Structure formats: C-alpha cells, structure tokens
Structure 1
Amino acid sequence: MRHTLILAIALILPFSLSAQAEDINYNLYQLSAITEDEIDNDVMRVTLLATHQASVAAEANKVVNRQMTPALEVLKKTNGIRYETGNYQTQPIYQNQQIAGWKASQEVELKSTDFNQLSILVGKLQKDLKVTSMGFEVSKAVRQKAEQRLSVDALNQFKERALLIQKTMGASGYQVVSIDVNTDSHRPPVRYAMMRAEAATAYDSPGPAVEGGNSTIKVNVSGQIQLIFN
C-alpha cells in the first residue's frame, strides 16, 4: 500500500507542477529589500606565536614547547578566556639550496568578551610569545539576535513594496512566488588594520587600552510576486 501511494503522488506531481508553471508566467515582479545595522563587537580575538630557529629540528621543537607550555598552564588557570592551539610546524631553512637549519612554530588563539582581562593576559604572555594578530567580532548569540530583528524589518519592507506595486498597478491582490533571505556581515577593514598594526606595540606593556569597534550586519530579502487581477 505504501509503495502504491508514493507512485500515485509521483504520477500526479508533474501535472500539478506544469499547471502551476502556467499560472505564474505572467504579471511577475522582482522585489528586494535590504536592512543593516552596526553592532558593537563583543568578542576580542588574539593570536600568539611561539617560534624558534636552530640547526637541529629537535632543538627548535624543544624551545617552542618550552615557550608554549607555561603559557598554556596560565590559560588553564584563567576563567573567561577561550583558547585553542594550532598550526604546529617544523620547516627547513635553506641556504644555497641546502638545509642550513630548522624553524619550528606553534600558534595559540585566545578569545574573550572581557577585553580588559584578555589584554592584560596577553601582555603577560608576551614574555615568551609574539602577538601576530588581533581582531574583534560579534558573538554568535548577539549576531543571531540582530539577524532575526533585521530579517523581520526586511520582510516587512518587502511586503510594503509588494503592496505598493499591487496598488499602483491596480491589482486586487498578489501572491509570493519565491523569496530568499540572506545575511551578511563585515568589519570595517581600516579599523581592523589599525588595530592589528597597533597590537605589535600596544602589548609592550601590560594592560593596553583597546577599542573593539563594530561590525555591519546586513539582511537582504529578494523574491518574486505575481499580481492578481479579478
């Protein structure tokens, strides 16, 4: 019985799609609506690097481990800081097309919503590690809340424009044929570049002053409507 029902639906579906396609091939209008807002960045992200060069790979790795181990011990005892190690590499150094030494390195990325705590901690970790980058972003929870609010605004704008077209064209109504809701965000590149450049000197002393800036979150609603004339 179950297989028979599926077959029946499969046979009816092409006719339904064909009829629907004929119904929506006229009086079609493309619409779009965009809403955006600047949201304060509430997450600070810093990447630190342990690196060393030596004539022997094992010695380079040993020094990197010695640099990273105390940093990880400090991080384990610190609350409110998320961290993750990665990019452990050992690479040969060439001179005159021959291996003249080895370079080892390892990164650790720190994230926190407490900018002051993280900046002070990074200042302490700089005794053994180098700051390679610093950035700011919007947390997932804050981003989702902003996207939901902006989606409602964009959909309302889409509806208002659909009603405007309906009224202007003298139609009795309209139906939505298709609609897409897309989200996007970006951080101002100038501010981000400035903060990265300042990071190299700001952390020479513990507890530098930092400014998270903001990110622009955007929602784009686009779709197609069909006017109805009675």
Structure 2
Amino acid sequence: MNQPADAPIRVVIIDDDALVRTALAMILRDDTTIEVVGEAADGQAGLDLVGRVAPDVVLMDIRMPRLDGLEALGRLMARPVPAKVIMLTTFDADDLVLRALGDGASGFLLKHTPPAEIVAAVHRVAAGEHMLSPSVTAQLIARLRKTAPEPQRVLQAQALAVTLTDRERDVAIAVGEGKLNAQIAAELHLSMATVKAHVSRIMTKLVVTNRVQLANRIHDAGLL
C-alpha cells in the first residue's frame, strides 16, 4: 500500500500465541517509524482486522486455529490492494514455506529471529523488497537442489538464464548455493552495493521475487 514518506509503517500481528503477539508488538513499538495498529489470534479474525485497519505489513503465523496462515494469505492476496505479508514460523524449513512464497508472501522469518532483524524485515518489506531468514533460505535451497525439475521448467529456466551476463551468472550461482551478499562480495571481490544491484537485476531477468525462487531457477537451468 502506498503511503506518505514520513508516515509510520502500519503493522498488524496475527498469531494464536498471546506471548508471541506481545513480544512482537514490544519489539516493533521500539521503532518510532512503525505503528502496530492491531493484533488477532487466528486467521479469520486477522482477515477481518486487516479489512478494517488496512495495514502496510502483516506479520502472520503459518499455523493457527479456525483459519491457518496459508489460507489467510491466499485470501489476503486476492484482495484488490493486498497488504505485504511476512509469514512467521518456529521451524527452519517446510513445504509450507515454499507454498507461502508461491502464494505471494513477501517474507519468511523464524520467531526467534533477533529483534533488530525483525524490525529491518518490516522496513524492507514495506519498501517493496523481500526478506527471508538466512537459515530458512539455506535450508530451502538445499531442499530444492535435491529435486528433479520438470522438462518444461528446465526449458523456461534455460531460456531466462542465457540473458545473464557472466558476472550476473557468477552472482546467481552464489545465491543458488545459499551464500549471503557479504559472502558473495568477498568471494567475487565486489562491493555490497554492487552485489545488491546484481541480485536485483538477476531477479528481474529470471522473473523471480526472492532468493529461494532465484536459486530454484538456477537449479532448473542446470547451473548448480
């Protein structure tokens, strides 16, 4: 959702664990540029709340009673102007994570993510970026690399991969190996800003929106 540059980021927290909701609210309220505008204990109540307060970002648990986070995510994404959604979980990797990313989630964080990283994730997602916990990214990439892609996916990935420059190809492979930007910068002797710029261009060329999808595309193209 668009908002004035000086307006706070409006956030809704949806989680069936009251302690988690309270902890997240305290973390976010320490940042004066973030406003927690509501909390809900299940997916259905969360949908109703989002409809009333129109937040910029939703932090939502993936497993909840009445209506789970995945179903709620799908319904949120079907709205004309959906909020950006960061899914929360207590486990490192699961098929549900891949489904959530495919259904439109902008981020995926573990509940034990350090407070500063949670705040940073909200800012990044509100700005239109995607955010995944490094451990989630690494484990999902490892899982993707063990699967054999369908022939049609291979052809599509190969057609997109040929648009990459040599340097973009190097960066894409490094991302596909689960490396963080700092590692890529050190290994390829690039600045962090240059790596970020490369990753952004690579995502555009490969028609993906996050590092896991990028890794999947590179895997399908046979570059890993």
Higher relative contact order (CA 8 A, sep 6+): 1
Which structure carries more helix by proportion? Answer: 2
> Same fold by TM-score, threshold 0.5 exceeded?
no
Which structure carries more strand by proportion? Answer: 1
| TM-score, length of structure 1 as denominator length | 0.21
Name the larger-Rg structure: 1
| TM-score, length of structure 2 as denominator length | 0.21
